[in-house]
Homo-oligomer: A and B are copies of this chain.
Amino acid sequence: MSFAFAVQYEDKQSAARLGMMHTPHGDVPTPVFMPVGTQATVKTLAPRDLERLGATLILANTYHLYLRPGPDVVAEMGGLHRFMAWRGPILTDSGGFQVFSMEGLRKVTEDGVVFRSHVDGSEHVFTPEKVMRIQEQLGADIIMCFDECATPTDYAYSKAAMERTHRWAERCKAAHTRPDQALFGIVQGGIFPDLRRQSAGFIASLDFPGIAIGGLSVGESKQEMYRTLELLEPELPRHKPRYLMGVGAPEDILEAVARGVDMFDCVLPTRLARNGAVFNRTGRLNLRNAQYTRDPRPIEDGCACYTCQNFSRAYMRHLIMSDEILGLHLATIHNVHFLLQLMRDIRKAIAEDRFALFKDDFLAAFRVPDEQVRARNRALRGSRKAARSGAKG
């Protein structure tokens, strides 16, 4: 068995746990955050940057790589690891999120989804079997079942999508051939407790080596997401890794770890960086702000990342205002470091029986954009996404 997972320690005050995942390309301590490398690159970072940042597992998007350069090209070049020169473990998503984000651009049948490429408008079909074949060509360590991601607050749609996701999970399992790749199932069911419990039970029954929670962080409130994680926690097998797809805001990671989640991915740190926004312990700084023009301090005092060890906010602002690519690179380094350091701190706190305290202290200092701002940002992202025809990365 190429893939294995073991829970190493369980928190006494919450459902948080420490674990270790073994993959053909290396071990991954959990809870883990995966930087997103949509098009076979974590935007602005070279593999050696990711290594220095201590990334242990990265995500690549099947939808994007299927369209460009194509899975046959990646396979011919030796698979995704060799193609992008990343020696560590990789997870590919199934493309489900992307094709179901394309309102008006898709047609769903029991067999699969017809959609149009955001690159050139050409028509394509994803079926569970085809998505398995593509992910086998890409060659990641962990691959995902093809699922249908519904509007999480629409009961009828959530139920139908969940049931189809279950039938597709069986087809994915049957189509999966590479024993060196671990195939994870995905739980759906929107924000509805009965659907979520039913989905957790069904997906668990298929005995995948890992289980993902899909259909969250797609428009519901934070409280709805946290409640859904709480009700799922006792329904999921304890000895398998649990992956909350698409989640990566620091406050959400902490709440989800407390509810038993082991794996996360999100474009937030890399996308924010390219907008000139950076994390620190107090929340976010917008480097375009004029107040940083002559600010000699690093983004965060005491931060060990290359950016903070070498550059002032004044220099970072200068780069961003001058449209210099180095500004995007250095901001990305800082934000990815921030998330990976948060995960290291979380793991240490769990190991030392002080996770609840760590979480409270972090959240007390970290100013979260309020729901209104989040909703507006989501709407902005949505309109940009529509313009790009469903590309999430």
Write the nearest CB–CB distance from A137 to chain B, whole angstroms: 14
Q: Report if A156 contacts B (CB, 8 A).
A: no
| Set B77, B83, B314: member contacting A69, Cβ < 8 A | B314
User: A65 — nearest CB in chain B belongs to which residue?
Assistant: B318
B44:A318 contact, CB within 8 angstroms: no
A315:B43 contact, CB within 8 angstroms: no
Q: Report if A68 contacts B (CB, 8 A).
A: yes
| Set B43, B45, B78, B315: member contacting A84, Cβ < 8 A | B315
What's the Cα separation between A68 and B48 when bound, in Å? 31
| Set B43, B46, B311, B321: member contacting A85, Cβ < 8 A | B311
Within 28-47 of A, Cβ neighbours of B (below 8 Å) are at 39-41, 43-47
Q: Which residues of B contact A43 (CB under 8 A)?
A: 324-326
Q: Report if A109 contacts B (CB, 8 A).
A: no
Write the nearest CB–CB distance from A61 to chain B, whole angstroms: 11
Q: Which residues of B contact A83 (CB under 8 A)?
A: 312, 314-315, 318
B68:A310 contact, CB within 8 angstroms: no
Known pairs A311-B85, A312-B77; A46 contacts B306 (CB<8 A) = yes
| Set B48, B78, B311: member contacting A306, Cβ < 8 A | B48
What's the Cα separation between A68 and B318 when bound, in Å? 7
Q: Report if A372 contacts B (CB, 8 A).
A: no
Q: Which residues of B contact A76 (CB under 8 A)?
A: 294, 296
What's the Cα separation between A296 and B79 when bound, in Å? 12
B45:A326 contact, CB within 8 angstroms: yes
Q: Which residues of B contact A69 (CB under 8 A)?
A: 293, 314, 317-318, 321
Indicate with 1 or 0, residue by residue over A107-129, a CB within 8 angstroms of chain B CB atoms: 00000000000000000000000
| Set B77, B311, B326: member contacting A296, Cβ < 8 A | B77
Q: Report if A328 contacts B (CB, 8 A).
A: yes
Q: Report if A329 contacts B (CB, 8 A).
A: yes
What's the Cα separation between A105 and B330 when bound, in Å? 35
What's the Cα separation between A326 and B329 when bound, in Å? 9
Q: Report if A73 contacts B (CB, 8 A).
A: yes
| Set B77, B310, B325, B328: member contacting A314, Cβ < 8 A | B77
Write the nearest CB–CB distance from A18 to chain B, whole angstroms: 33
Tell which of A39, A48, A306 has the most Cβ of chain B within 10 Å. Answer: A39
B324:A39 contact, CB within 8 angstroms: yes
Chain A residues proximal to chain B, CB less than 8 Å: 39-41, 43-48, 68-69, 73, 76-78, 83-85, 293-294, 296, 306, 310-312, 314-315, 317-319, 321-322, 324-326, 328-330
Instruction: Taking A39-B324, A83-B312 as given, write out 18 further A-B residue pairs in contact, using a Cβ cutoff of 8 Å, ordered by the A residue number.
Output: A39-B318, A41-B319, A41-B324, A43-B325, A44-B329, A68-B321, A68-B322, A69-B293, A69-B314, A69-B321, A76-B294, A77-B294, A78-B296, A83-B318, A85-B311, A85-B315, A325-B328, A325-B329
18 sample A-B contacts, Cβ–Cβ < 8 Å, listed by A number: A39-B318, A39-B324, A40-B315, A41-B326, A43-B324, A44-B325, A45-B326, A46-B306, A46-B330, A68-B321, A69-B314, A69-B321, A73-B293, A73-B314, A76-B296, A83-B312, A85-B310, A85-B315
